[in-house]
Structure 1
Amino acid sequence: MKKIRIFAFVSFVIGAVIISVAFINCKSGAKTNQNDNLKFNGKGFALVELFTSEGCSSCPPADELVAKVQKEVGDKPVYILAYHVDYWNRLGWKDVFSSADYSKRQNEYAHWLNLSQVYTPQIVVNGKTEFVGSQEERLRSTIKSGLQGSGSVQLNLGVTLNANNTASVQYKVEGNTGSASNVISLALVQKQAVVKVERGENGGRTLAHAQIVRNLQTMPLNKNNGSATIALPAGVEARGWEVIGFVQNTNNGAVLAASKSLVKVSADVGQQDKNIQ
Protein backbone atom coordinates (compact mmCIF):
# COMPACT_ATOMS: atom_id res chain seq x y z
CA MET A 1 0.00 0.00 0.00
CA LYS A 2 2.84 2.36 0.87
CA LYS A 3 4.57 1.68 -2.45
CA ILE A 4 1.36 2.36 -4.32
CA ARG A 5 0.95 5.73 -2.56
CA ILE A 6 4.54 6.72 -3.33
CA PHE A 7 4.10 5.74 -6.98
CA ALA A 8 0.89 7.75 -7.23
CA PHE A 9 2.55 10.79 -5.67
CA VAL A 10 5.54 10.60 -8.02
CA SER A 11 3.21 10.25 -11.01
CA PHE A 12 1.28 13.32 -9.85
CA VAL A 13 4.47 15.39 -9.52
CA ILE A 14 5.75 14.32 -12.96
CA GLY A 15 2.40 15.15 -14.53
CA ALA A 16 2.35 18.57 -12.91
CA VAL A 17 5.85 19.33 -14.19
CA ILE A 18 4.91 18.31 -17.74
CA ILE A 19 1.80 20.50 -17.67
CA SER A 20 3.78 23.46 -16.28
CA VAL A 21 6.47 23.16 -18.97
CA ALA A 22 3.83 22.92 -21.68
CA PHE A 23 2.08 26.01 -20.31
CA ILE A 24 5.33 28.00 -20.21
CA ASN A 25 6.20 26.94 -23.76
CA CYS A 26 2.71 27.89 -24.90
CA LYS A 27 3.06 31.35 -23.37
CA SER A 28 6.53 31.75 -24.84
CA GLY A 29 5.30 30.71 -28.28
CA ALA A 30 2.38 33.13 -28.07
CA LYS A 31 4.74 35.97 -27.20
CA THR A 32 7.06 35.06 -30.06
CA ASN A 33 4.19 34.90 -32.52
CA GLN A 34 2.94 38.28 -31.31
CA ASN A 35 6.33 39.88 -31.90
CA ASP A 36 6.60 38.15 -35.28
CA ASN A 37 3.57 40.12 -36.43
CA LEU A 38 5.64 43.31 -36.29
CA LYS A 39 8.66 41.96 -38.17
CA PHE A 40 9.68 43.96 -41.23
CA ASN A 41 9.98 41.32 -43.95
CA GLY A 42 9.37 43.34 -47.10
CA LYS A 43 9.37 46.78 -48.65
CA GLY A 44 5.89 47.65 -47.50
CA PHE A 45 4.42 49.84 -44.76
CA ALA A 46 1.37 50.10 -42.53
CA LEU A 47 -0.66 53.28 -42.04
CA VAL A 48 -2.89 52.65 -39.02
CA GLU A 49 -5.79 55.11 -38.65
CA LEU A 50 -7.79 54.89 -35.42
CA PHE A 51 -11.12 56.69 -35.05
CA THR A 52 -11.78 57.22 -31.36
CA SER A 53 -13.39 59.53 -28.79
CA GLU A 54 -13.11 60.38 -25.11
CA GLY A 55 -16.90 60.15 -24.97
CA CYS A 56 -16.94 56.47 -25.97
CA SER A 57 -16.57 53.89 -23.19
CA SER A 58 -15.34 51.26 -25.67
CA CYS A 59 -12.49 53.44 -26.93
CA PRO A 60 -9.87 53.41 -24.11
CA PRO A 61 -8.78 49.80 -24.87
CA ALA A 62 -8.18 50.80 -28.50
CA ASP A 63 -6.23 53.88 -27.42
CA GLU A 64 -4.11 51.68 -25.16
CA LEU A 65 -3.53 49.17 -27.95
CA VAL A 66 -2.20 51.69 -30.49
CA ALA A 67 0.00 53.23 -27.78
CA LYS A 68 1.40 49.77 -27.05
CA VAL A 69 2.08 49.05 -30.73
CA GLN A 70 3.62 52.49 -31.21
CA LYS A 71 6.20 51.67 -28.52
CA GLU A 72 7.01 48.33 -30.14
CA VAL A 73 7.47 49.33 -33.78
CA GLY A 74 10.69 51.30 -33.29
CA ASP A 75 12.03 52.44 -36.66
CA LYS A 76 9.77 50.13 -38.70
CA PRO A 77 7.56 51.83 -41.34
CA VAL A 78 4.41 51.69 -39.19
CA TYR A 79 2.59 55.02 -38.96
CA ILE A 80 -0.21 55.49 -36.42
CA LEU A 81 -2.82 58.25 -36.55
CA ALA A 82 -5.53 58.68 -33.89
CA TYR A 83 -8.45 60.82 -35.06
CA HIS A 84 -10.83 62.00 -32.34
CA VAL A 85 -14.27 62.28 -33.95
CA ASP A 86 -16.82 64.85 -32.80
CA TYR A 87 -20.16 63.02 -32.94
CA TRP A 88 -19.79 61.76 -29.35
CA ASN A 89 -19.56 65.33 -28.03
CA ARG A 90 -23.35 65.69 -27.83
CA LEU A 91 -23.54 63.14 -25.01
CA GLY A 92 -22.16 65.34 -22.25
CA TRP A 93 -18.40 65.58 -22.81
CA LYS A 94 -16.58 67.54 -25.49
CA ASP A 95 -13.37 65.84 -26.55
CA VAL A 96 -10.80 68.65 -26.77
CA PHE A 97 -9.01 66.82 -29.60
CA SER A 98 -12.15 66.19 -31.64
CA SER A 99 -12.89 67.68 -35.05
CA ALA A 100 -15.69 67.47 -37.59
CA ASP A 101 -12.95 66.98 -40.21
CA TYR A 102 -12.04 63.63 -38.64
CA SER A 103 -15.69 62.53 -38.57
CA LYS A 104 -15.88 63.46 -42.25
CA ARG A 105 -12.79 61.38 -42.98
CA GLN A 106 -14.33 58.38 -41.24
CA ASN A 107 -17.45 58.77 -43.36
CA GLU A 108 -15.25 58.79 -46.46
CA TYR A 109 -13.94 55.40 -45.40
CA ALA A 110 -17.51 54.17 -44.91
CA HIS A 111 -18.09 55.08 -48.57
CA TRP A 112 -14.83 53.53 -49.83
CA LEU A 113 -15.29 50.31 -47.82
CA ASN A 114 -19.04 49.98 -48.46
CA LEU A 115 -20.00 50.26 -44.78
CA SER A 116 -23.55 51.09 -43.77
CA GLN A 117 -22.46 53.20 -40.79
CA VAL A 118 -19.48 54.48 -38.82
CA TYR A 119 -18.54 53.41 -35.29
CA THR A 120 -15.87 53.80 -32.64
CA PRO A 121 -13.34 52.54 -32.00
CA GLN A 122 -12.55 51.73 -35.62
CA ILE A 123 -9.16 51.05 -37.22
CA VAL A 124 -8.39 51.27 -40.93
CA VAL A 125 -5.03 49.98 -42.22
CA ASN A 126 -3.61 51.25 -45.52
CA GLY A 127 -7.07 52.44 -46.49
CA LYS A 128 -8.19 48.90 -47.35
CA THR A 129 -8.90 46.89 -44.18
CA GLU A 130 -11.13 47.94 -41.28
CA PHE A 131 -12.05 46.33 -37.96
CA VAL A 132 -12.89 47.10 -34.33
CA GLY A 133 -10.01 49.12 -32.89
CA SER A 134 -9.47 46.95 -29.80
CA GLN A 135 -8.79 43.72 -31.75
CA GLU A 136 -5.10 43.22 -31.05
CA GLU A 137 -4.43 40.06 -33.06
CA ARG A 138 -6.27 41.49 -36.07
CA LEU A 139 -4.23 44.68 -35.87
CA ARG A 140 -0.93 42.83 -35.60
CA SER A 141 -1.67 40.49 -38.49
CA THR A 142 -2.83 43.36 -40.70
CA ILE A 143 0.32 45.36 -39.91
CA LYS A 144 2.39 42.29 -40.80
CA SER A 145 0.62 42.00 -44.15
CA GLY A 146 1.28 45.67 -44.86
CA LEU A 147 4.99 45.34 -44.05
CA GLN A 148 5.27 42.43 -46.46
CA GLY A 149 3.94 44.54 -49.34
CA SER A 150 5.88 45.64 -52.40
CA GLY A 151 6.24 49.35 -51.59
CA SER A 152 6.34 50.44 -55.24
CA VAL A 153 5.77 54.09 -54.28
CA GLN A 154 8.03 55.93 -51.83
CA LEU A 155 7.36 59.18 -49.95
CA ASN A 156 10.08 61.31 -48.31
CA LEU A 157 9.33 64.16 -45.92
CA GLY A 158 11.31 66.99 -44.36
CA VAL A 159 10.07 69.53 -41.82
CA THR A 160 11.20 73.10 -41.13
CA LEU A 161 9.99 74.75 -37.92
CA ASN A 162 9.11 78.40 -38.51
CA ALA A 163 9.22 81.25 -36.01
CA ASN A 164 5.47 81.98 -36.36
CA ASN A 165 4.32 78.70 -34.80
CA THR A 166 3.97 76.94 -38.14
CA ALA A 167 5.85 74.10 -39.78
CA SER A 168 6.84 73.96 -43.44
CA VAL A 169 6.72 70.46 -44.88
CA GLN A 170 8.62 69.44 -48.00
CA TYR A 171 7.61 66.20 -49.73
CA LYS A 172 8.92 64.09 -52.58
CA VAL A 173 7.15 61.11 -54.15
CA GLU A 174 9.11 58.45 -56.04
CA GLY A 175 7.57 55.76 -58.26
CA ASN A 176 4.50 55.58 -60.46
CA THR A 177 1.39 56.52 -58.52
CA GLY A 178 -0.67 55.63 -61.56
CA SER A 179 -3.72 57.86 -61.05
CA ALA A 180 -4.68 61.50 -61.44
CA SER A 181 -7.07 61.09 -58.49
CA ASN A 182 -4.27 60.69 -55.95
CA VAL A 183 -3.86 63.17 -53.08
CA ILE A 184 -1.23 63.75 -50.44
CA SER A 185 -2.28 64.22 -46.83
CA LEU A 186 -0.14 65.69 -44.06
CA ALA A 187 -1.06 65.06 -40.43
CA LEU A 188 0.42 67.00 -37.53
CA VAL A 189 0.66 64.50 -34.67
CA GLN A 190 0.90 65.14 -30.94
CA LYS A 191 2.75 62.12 -29.56
CA GLN A 192 0.87 61.82 -26.25
CA ALA A 193 -1.52 63.47 -23.82
CA VAL A 194 -3.35 62.69 -20.58
CA VAL A 195 -6.89 64.00 -19.97
CA LYS A 196 -9.21 63.74 -16.96
CA VAL A 197 -12.71 63.18 -18.32
CA GLU A 198 -15.36 64.74 -16.11
CA ARG A 199 -18.61 63.70 -17.80
CA GLY A 200 -20.05 61.28 -20.33
CA GLU A 201 -19.48 57.53 -20.59
CA ASN A 202 -15.89 57.88 -19.35
CA GLY A 203 -16.72 60.38 -16.61
CA GLY A 204 -14.28 60.20 -13.69
CA ARG A 205 -11.58 58.40 -15.69
CA THR A 206 -8.15 59.71 -16.61
CA LEU A 207 -7.36 58.72 -20.20
CA ALA A 208 -3.97 58.49 -21.89
CA HIS A 209 -3.78 59.15 -25.62
CA ALA A 210 -1.09 58.57 -28.23
CA GLN A 211 -0.46 59.71 -31.81
CA ILE A 212 -3.21 62.36 -31.71
CA VAL A 213 -3.92 64.08 -35.01
CA ARG A 214 -4.14 67.82 -34.36
CA ASN A 215 -4.18 69.07 -37.94
CA LEU A 216 -4.84 67.30 -41.25
CA GLN A 217 -4.28 68.86 -44.66
CA THR A 218 -5.02 67.16 -47.96
CA MET A 219 -3.90 68.42 -51.37
CA PRO A 220 -4.07 67.10 -54.95
CA LEU A 221 -0.86 65.35 -55.95
CA ASN A 222 -0.28 67.36 -59.11
CA LYS A 223 3.47 66.75 -59.12
CA ASN A 224 5.90 64.48 -57.33
CA ASN A 225 7.39 67.13 -55.07
CA GLY A 226 6.09 70.17 -53.28
CA SER A 227 5.58 71.86 -49.94
CA ALA A 228 2.87 72.94 -47.52
CA THR A 229 2.56 74.92 -44.30
CA ILE A 230 0.88 73.44 -41.23
CA ALA A 231 -0.26 75.56 -38.29
CA LEU A 232 0.62 74.31 -34.81
CA PRO A 233 -2.09 74.57 -32.12
CA ALA A 234 -1.82 77.73 -30.06
CA GLY A 235 0.04 77.56 -26.76
CA VAL A 236 1.96 74.36 -27.41
CA GLU A 237 5.55 73.59 -28.23
CA ALA A 238 6.53 71.46 -31.21
CA ARG A 239 8.94 69.38 -29.14
CA GLY A 240 8.27 65.69 -29.62
CA TRP A 241 5.65 66.18 -32.33
CA GLU A 242 5.83 64.67 -35.81
CA VAL A 243 4.33 64.99 -39.26
CA ILE A 244 3.00 61.85 -40.95
CA GLY A 245 2.31 62.08 -44.66
CA PHE A 246 0.62 59.61 -46.98
CA VAL A 247 -0.42 59.31 -50.62
CA GLN A 248 -3.96 58.06 -51.18
CA ASN A 249 -6.18 57.15 -54.13
CA THR A 250 -9.50 58.97 -53.75
CA ASN A 251 -11.30 56.50 -56.02
CA ASN A 252 -11.01 53.59 -53.59
CA GLY A 253 -9.20 54.90 -50.47
CA ALA A 254 -6.08 52.75 -50.94
CA VAL A 255 -2.96 54.26 -49.39
CA LEU A 256 0.04 53.98 -51.73
CA ALA A 257 2.87 55.31 -49.54
CA ALA A 258 3.51 56.85 -46.14
CA SER A 259 6.36 58.45 -44.24
CA LYS A 260 7.07 60.67 -41.24
CA SER A 261 9.45 63.33 -39.98
CA LEU A 262 9.88 64.67 -36.47
CA VAL A 263 9.26 68.32 -35.70
CA LYS A 264 12.37 69.26 -33.74
CA VAL A 265 12.96 72.36 -31.66
CA SER A 266 16.49 73.73 -31.87
CA ALA A 267 18.30 76.97 -31.10
CA ASP A 268 18.33 77.76 -34.79
CA VAL A 269 14.62 77.96 -35.61
CA GLY A 270 14.01 77.19 -39.23
CA GLN A 271 16.80 74.63 -39.55
CA GLN A 272 15.88 71.81 -41.92
CA ASP A 273 15.08 68.57 -40.16
CA LYS A 274 17.72 66.11 -41.29
CA ASN A 275 15.93 63.04 -39.99
CA ILE A 276 14.03 62.18 -43.13
CA GLN A 277 12.52 58.71 -43.00
Structure 2
Amino acid sequence: MKLSRILISLIALFLFAQAEASEKTYSSGEQQVALLELFTSQGCSSCPPADKWVNQLIDRPGLWRKFIPVSFHVDYWDYIGWKDPYASRSNSNRQYRYKQQKGVKVVYTPGFVVNGKEWRDWRRNSKIPQDENSPGNLEVKIDGQRLQAKFIPVEKSDERYRLTVVLLGFDLSSRVTDGENEGRTLKEEFVVLDQASQLSHDSNWDIQLPWLNTASRGKRGVAAWVATENRQAPVQATGGWLNQ
Protein backbone atom coordinates (compact mmCIF):
# COMPACT_ATOMS: atom_id res chain seq x y z
CA MET A 1 0.00 0.00 0.00
CA LYS A 2 2.82 2.37 0.91
CA LEU A 3 4.56 1.63 -2.42
CA SER A 4 1.33 2.45 -4.29
CA ARG A 5 1.10 5.84 -2.58
CA ILE A 6 4.69 6.59 -3.54
CA LEU A 7 4.01 5.65 -7.17
CA ILE A 8 0.87 7.81 -7.26
CA SER A 9 2.82 10.74 -5.82
CA LEU A 10 5.60 10.33 -8.37
CA ILE A 11 3.11 10.19 -11.24
CA ALA A 12 1.35 13.31 -9.93
CA LEU A 13 4.65 15.16 -9.69
CA PHE A 14 5.57 14.10 -13.22
CA LEU A 15 2.24 15.27 -14.65
CA PHE A 16 2.54 18.57 -12.77
CA ALA A 17 6.06 19.08 -14.12
CA GLN A 18 4.87 18.34 -17.66
CA ALA A 19 2.05 20.88 -17.31
CA GLU A 20 4.46 23.49 -15.95
CA ALA A 21 6.88 22.83 -18.80
CA SER A 22 4.13 23.46 -21.39
CA GLU A 23 3.41 26.91 -19.97
CA LYS A 24 5.53 29.82 -21.15
CA THR A 25 5.60 33.35 -19.73
CA TYR A 26 7.26 36.33 -21.38
CA SER A 27 7.53 39.78 -19.84
CA SER A 28 9.00 42.97 -21.29
CA GLY A 29 9.59 44.97 -18.13
CA GLU A 30 8.71 48.66 -18.16
CA GLN A 31 11.58 49.89 -20.35
CA GLN A 32 10.87 49.72 -24.06
CA VAL A 33 12.04 46.63 -25.93
CA ALA A 34 13.02 47.49 -29.51
CA LEU A 35 11.03 45.71 -32.22
CA LEU A 36 13.27 45.34 -35.28
CA GLU A 37 11.23 44.56 -38.41
CA LEU A 38 12.85 43.46 -41.65
CA PHE A 39 10.75 43.50 -44.82
CA THR A 40 12.41 41.06 -47.19
CA SER A 41 11.84 38.59 -50.03
CA GLN A 42 13.54 35.51 -51.39
CA GLY A 43 12.90 36.96 -54.86
CA CYS A 44 15.02 40.05 -54.22
CA SER A 45 18.76 39.84 -54.98
CA SER A 46 19.52 42.67 -52.52
CA CYS A 47 17.88 40.88 -49.59
CA PRO A 48 20.27 38.00 -48.68
CA PRO A 49 22.83 40.34 -47.02
CA ALA A 50 20.08 41.81 -44.82
CA ASP A 51 18.77 38.34 -44.00
CA LYS A 52 22.31 37.26 -43.06
CA TRP A 53 22.70 40.32 -40.83
CA VAL A 54 19.47 39.46 -39.01
CA ASN A 55 20.53 35.82 -38.71
CA GLN A 56 23.56 36.74 -36.60
CA LEU A 57 21.37 38.49 -34.03
CA ILE A 58 20.44 35.07 -32.69
CA ASP A 59 23.73 35.06 -30.74
CA ARG A 60 23.78 38.71 -29.74
CA PRO A 61 23.40 39.63 -26.05
CA GLY A 62 20.12 41.36 -25.34
CA LEU A 63 18.00 39.19 -27.63
CA TRP A 64 14.39 39.09 -26.34
CA ARG A 65 15.27 41.40 -23.41
CA LYS A 66 16.39 44.53 -25.28
CA PHE A 67 15.44 43.84 -28.89
CA ILE A 68 13.32 41.40 -30.88
CA PRO A 69 13.91 40.85 -34.64
CA VAL A 70 11.08 39.74 -36.93
CA SER A 71 11.35 39.14 -40.68
CA PHE A 72 8.23 39.84 -42.71
CA HIS A 73 8.46 38.32 -46.19
CA VAL A 74 6.54 40.45 -48.69
CA ASP A 75 4.77 39.13 -51.77
CA TYR A 76 5.33 41.95 -54.27
CA TRP A 77 8.48 40.25 -55.62
CA ASP A 78 6.71 36.96 -56.39
CA TYR A 79 5.87 38.00 -59.95
CA ILE A 80 9.45 37.68 -61.25
CA GLY A 81 9.52 33.89 -61.20
CA TRP A 82 10.07 32.74 -57.61
CA LYS A 83 7.18 32.56 -55.16
CA ASP A 84 8.54 33.15 -51.66
CA PRO A 85 7.06 30.38 -49.45
CA TYR A 86 6.95 32.73 -46.44
CA ALA A 87 5.52 35.77 -48.21
CA SER A 88 1.99 37.07 -47.68
CA ARG A 89 -0.12 40.03 -48.68
CA SER A 90 -0.65 40.93 -45.01
CA ASN A 91 3.13 41.33 -44.62
CA SER A 92 3.25 43.64 -47.64
CA ASN A 93 0.28 45.61 -46.35
CA ARG A 94 2.06 46.16 -43.05
CA GLN A 95 4.95 47.80 -44.88
CA TYR A 96 2.56 49.93 -46.95
CA ARG A 97 0.81 51.09 -43.77
CA TYR A 98 4.15 52.31 -42.43
CA LYS A 99 4.43 54.49 -45.51
CA GLN A 100 0.87 55.77 -45.04
CA GLN A 101 1.64 56.61 -41.42
CA LYS A 102 4.97 58.23 -42.40
CA GLY A 103 7.15 55.67 -40.63
CA VAL A 104 9.00 55.11 -43.93
CA LYS A 105 9.31 57.30 -47.01
CA VAL A 106 9.42 54.53 -49.63
CA VAL A 107 8.38 50.87 -49.74
CA TYR A 108 11.39 48.74 -50.71
CA THR A 109 13.37 45.64 -49.80
CA PRO A 110 15.34 45.05 -47.79
CA GLY A 111 13.71 47.57 -45.50
CA PHE A 112 14.30 47.87 -41.76
CA VAL A 113 11.93 49.50 -39.29
CA VAL A 114 12.76 49.94 -35.59
CA ASN A 115 9.92 50.86 -33.26
CA GLY A 116 7.89 52.09 -36.22
CA LYS A 117 10.65 54.21 -37.81
CA GLU A 118 12.80 53.52 -40.86
CA TRP A 119 16.38 52.47 -40.06
CA ARG A 120 19.17 52.32 -42.66
CA ASP A 121 22.38 51.92 -40.64
CA TRP A 122 22.38 48.12 -40.41
CA ARG A 123 25.08 47.79 -43.12
CA ARG A 124 27.58 49.40 -40.76
CA ASN A 125 26.81 46.78 -38.11
CA SER A 126 25.43 49.62 -36.05
CA LYS A 127 23.90 48.99 -32.68
CA ILE A 128 20.14 48.56 -32.86
CA PRO A 129 18.56 51.86 -31.74
CA GLN A 130 17.26 51.70 -28.18
CA ASP A 131 14.69 54.19 -26.89
CA GLU A 132 14.94 55.25 -23.29
CA ASN A 133 11.14 55.27 -22.98
CA SER A 134 9.40 53.30 -20.26
CA PRO A 135 5.95 52.66 -21.71
CA GLY A 136 4.96 49.85 -19.37
CA ASN A 137 5.03 46.10 -18.94
CA LEU A 138 3.64 43.63 -21.48
CA GLU A 139 3.21 40.10 -20.13
CA VAL A 140 2.26 37.13 -22.28
CA LYS A 141 1.41 33.62 -21.09
CA ILE A 142 1.09 30.67 -23.45
CA ASP A 143 -0.40 27.32 -22.50
CA GLY A 144 -0.93 25.03 -25.46
CA GLN A 145 -3.09 26.96 -27.94
CA ARG A 146 -4.20 29.53 -25.38
CA LEU A 147 -2.49 32.91 -25.16
CA GLN A 148 -3.23 35.41 -22.41
CA ALA A 149 -1.69 38.87 -22.36
CA LYS A 150 -1.84 42.01 -20.26
CA PHE A 151 -0.35 45.43 -20.84
CA ILE A 152 0.09 47.78 -17.88
CA PRO A 153 1.15 51.24 -19.10
CA VAL A 154 3.29 53.37 -16.82
CA GLU A 155 1.01 56.33 -17.43
CA LYS A 156 -2.72 55.72 -17.34
CA SER A 157 -4.59 56.68 -20.48
CA ASP A 158 -7.83 56.05 -22.33
CA GLU A 159 -5.99 54.50 -25.27
CA ARG A 160 -7.15 51.19 -26.66
CA TYR A 161 -4.34 48.84 -27.59
CA ARG A 162 -4.02 46.21 -30.30
CA LEU A 163 -1.97 43.10 -29.57
CA THR A 164 -0.11 41.42 -32.43
CA VAL A 165 1.40 37.96 -31.98
CA VAL A 166 3.66 36.20 -34.47
CA LEU A 167 5.13 32.71 -34.68
CA LEU A 168 8.81 32.83 -35.66
CA GLY A 169 10.66 30.12 -37.57
CA PHE A 170 14.38 29.36 -37.20
CA ASP A 171 16.97 27.22 -38.99
CA LEU A 172 15.00 27.61 -42.23
CA SER A 173 16.64 26.75 -45.54
CA SER A 174 15.29 27.32 -49.06
CA ARG A 175 16.81 26.33 -52.38
CA VAL A 176 15.74 29.01 -54.87
CA THR A 177 15.27 27.71 -58.42
CA ASP A 178 14.09 30.85 -60.24
CA GLY A 179 14.11 34.63 -60.08
CA GLU A 180 16.95 36.94 -59.04
CA ASN A 181 18.35 34.49 -56.48
CA GLU A 182 18.22 31.42 -58.75
CA GLY A 183 20.68 28.72 -57.67
CA ARG A 184 21.17 30.07 -54.15
CA THR A 185 20.36 28.31 -50.89
CA LEU A 186 19.02 30.86 -48.43
CA LYS A 187 19.36 30.40 -44.67
CA GLU A 188 16.91 32.39 -42.58
CA GLU A 189 16.06 33.08 -38.92
CA PHE A 190 13.28 35.03 -37.19
CA VAL A 191 10.86 34.43 -40.09
CA VAL A 192 7.20 35.28 -39.45
CA LEU A 193 5.23 32.09 -40.16
CA ASP A 194 1.83 32.95 -38.67
CA GLN A 195 0.28 35.95 -37.00
CA ALA A 196 -2.81 37.22 -35.22
CA SER A 197 -3.99 40.62 -34.05
CA GLN A 198 -6.73 41.70 -31.66
CA LEU A 199 -7.94 45.00 -30.26
CA SER A 200 -8.75 45.26 -26.54
CA HIS A 201 -10.84 47.71 -24.54
CA ASP A 202 -9.03 46.99 -21.27
CA SER A 203 -5.50 45.95 -22.33
CA ASN A 204 -6.20 42.29 -21.58
CA TRP A 205 -6.32 39.50 -24.13
CA ASP A 206 -7.35 35.84 -24.09
CA ILE A 207 -6.91 34.24 -27.51
CA GLN A 208 -6.94 30.72 -28.92
CA LEU A 209 -4.15 30.30 -31.51
CA PRO A 210 -4.08 26.77 -33.00
CA TRP A 211 -0.83 27.48 -34.86
CA LEU A 212 1.08 27.70 -31.58
CA ASN A 213 1.03 23.89 -31.57
CA THR A 214 3.22 23.87 -34.69
CA ALA A 215 6.10 24.78 -32.38
CA SER A 216 6.95 21.06 -32.22
CA ARG A 217 7.80 21.06 -35.95
CA GLY A 218 11.17 22.70 -35.61
CA LYS A 219 12.86 25.51 -33.73
CA ARG A 220 10.24 28.15 -32.99
CA GLY A 221 9.86 31.40 -31.11
CA VAL A 222 7.10 33.89 -30.46
CA ALA A 223 7.00 37.69 -30.47
CA ALA A 224 4.18 39.91 -29.28
CA TRP A 225 3.72 43.64 -29.19
CA VAL A 226 1.08 46.26 -28.50
CA ALA A 227 0.28 49.36 -30.52
CA THR A 228 -2.39 52.01 -30.11
CA GLU A 229 -5.65 51.51 -32.00
CA ASN A 230 -4.89 53.82 -34.92
CA ARG A 231 -1.10 53.61 -35.11
CA GLN A 232 0.96 50.62 -36.23
CA ALA A 233 4.22 51.60 -34.48
CA PRO A 234 4.81 49.26 -31.51
CA VAL A 235 4.56 50.69 -28.01
CA GLN A 236 6.01 47.68 -26.19
CA ALA A 237 7.17 44.19 -27.17
CA THR A 238 8.13 40.88 -25.63
CA GLY A 239 8.87 37.35 -26.75
CA GLY A 240 11.12 34.34 -26.48
CA TRP A 241 11.62 30.71 -27.43
CA LEU A 242 8.74 28.28 -27.69
CA ASN A 243 11.28 25.49 -28.07
CA GLN A 244 14.96 25.14 -28.98
Which range, TM-score by smaller chain?
0.7 to 0.9
What is aligned with 2:6? none
From 90, 96, 100, the equivalent of 1:111 is: 100
SS where residue 202 of structure 2 aligns? coil
Q: 2:151 aligns with which of 173, 189, 194?
A: 173
Structure with higher Rg: it is 1
**Distance in 2, Cα, partners of 1:156 & 1:238:** 25
Q: In structure 1, what residue type is equivalent to 2:41?
A: S
Q: Does residue 1:160 correspond to 2:139, yes or no?
A: no
Q: For 2:190 and 2:113, how far apart are their aligned partners in 1?
A: 15
Residue among 223, 226, 235 paired with 2:205: 226
Deviations 1:61-89 (A, max 9, x none): 10011111232134532111100001100
Matches within 5 A, 1:250-261: 250-261=229-240
Is the 8 Å Cα contact of residues 183 and 219 (structure 1) preserved in structure 2?
Answer: yes
Query: How do 1:199-214 residues align onto structure 2 when only pairs under 5 Å count?
Result: 199-214=178-193
- The CA RMSD measured in Å over matched residues stands at 2.5
| 1:1-277 correspondence runs (5 A) | 43-75=31-63, 76-113=65-102, 115=104, 117-127=106-116, 129-132=117-120, 134-138=122-126, 140=127, 143-146=128-131, 149-161=132-144, 167-175=145-153, 176=155, 178-232=157-211, 237-264=216-243
Query: With CA pairs under 8 Å and 6+ residues apart, which has the higher RCO, 1 or 2?
Result: 2
Structure 1 residues 23-55: Cα deviation after superposition (integer angstroms, max 9, x where no partner):
xxxxxxxxxxxxxxxxxxx93321001000000
Task: Tell me if the contact between 1:120 and 1:132 (Cα under 8 Å) persists in the aligned partners.
Answer: no
Scaled by the length of structure 2, the TM-score of the pair is 0.78
> Residue type matched to 2:86 in 1?
F
Instruction: Report the CA distance between 1:254 and its aligned residue.
Output: 2.9
Separation in 2, partners of 1:235, 1:224? 27
- How much does 1:257 deviate? 0.7
Which shifted more, 218-227 or 54-63? Answer: 218-227
How far did 1:145 drift? Answer: 2.6
Distance 1:155 1:191 in 2: 24
Letter of the 2:106 counterpart: Q
Note closer, same or farther for the CA distance 1:202–1:107 as it changes in structure 2 (3 Å cut).
same
Conserved in 1, the CA contact under 8 Å of 2:38 and 2:70? Answer: yes
Q: Write the deviation string for residues 150-193 of structure 1: whole angstroms up to 9, x where unpaired.
A: 322110111122xxxxx321111112463535311111111230
SS class of match (2:170): strand
Comparing 151-160 and 71-80, the one that deviates more? 71-80
**Separation (CA, whole Å) in 2 of partners of 1:105 and 1:168:** 25
Which stretch shows the higher mean deviation, 100-109 or 246-255? 246-255
1:236/1:199 CA distance change after superposition, 3 Å = farther
CA separation of 1:193 and 1:179: change in aligned 2, threshold 3 A: farther
- The 1-side partners of 2:158 and 2:124 are apart by 33
Give the aligned length.
213
Identity %: 29
Unaligned runs of 5+ in 1: 1-41, 162-166, 266-277
CA, structure 1 residues 171+67, in 2 after alignment: closer, same or farther (shift >3 Å)? same
Q: Which amino acid letter does the alignment assign opposite residue 58 of structure 2?
A: Q
Gaps of 5+ in 2: 1-29
Structure 1 counterpart of 2:216, which letter? E
Distance, in Å, in 1 between the alignment partners of 2:34 and 2:146 is: 24
Q: Alignment partner of 1:215: what SS? A: strand
